[in-house]
Amino acid sequence: MKYLSRAVVCALLGLSVNALAADSGGSSTPTWSAGSSKADDAALKSAKAALAAGDHGAAQGQLKTALAADPGNADLHNLYAYSIRKGATPDMALVFKHYEEALRIDPKHRGAHEYLGEAYLMTGNLAKAKEQLAALDKLCTFSCAEYDMLKKAIAAYEAKAPK
């Protein structure tokens, strides 16, 4: 009975971890933290609404404002890079700059690792994308949505590559 209880607890914890990981991002949903930030709350709320509506240009403006108020926030750098990458004419140098800044601030930021890997795929750098997948493999003890999404993106990229 003691072992059954441990198994149930472990299963519940696993579900909770997977639910949180799924909530923290993926290619179609940008990653952001619900934690406190010095960033202007109104700008951040507007940016989140714009991203949810697919208005990446508006999100970029709001996130620039939020970053000015809180330049040490990895989530903001991640979201800003995401909004640029998903925009009509992505400036990939700026995208890489902000993903790398997010990872400098928080080297364990799973969303930034996933999105940086996807950015590398956009520029045809499969080896660098796989480096981000390897980093996520180390960060995600059991599994996480970010790892799964990047692995899927890499597989799709490889399937389209000329043979």
Q: What are phi and psi of 90, to 5 degrees?
A: -65, 130
- Give dist(CA 36, CA 38) in Å, integer: 7
pLDDT at 13: 37
- pLDDT tens figures, 74-120: 999 999 999 999 999 999 999 999 999 999 999 999 999 999 999 99
By the 8 A CB rule, do 110 and 136 touch? yes
Mean pLDDT of the chain: 82
Task: Catalogue the E-assigned strands of the chain.
Answer: none
pLDDT at residue 117, rounded to an integer: 98
Range name among 26-30, 55-59, 77-81, 121-125 with the lowest pLDDT average:
26-30
Distance between CA atoms of 99 and 35, rounded to whole angstroms? 19
Place of tokens 């406190």: 36
Q: What does pTM read for this prediction?
A: 0.77
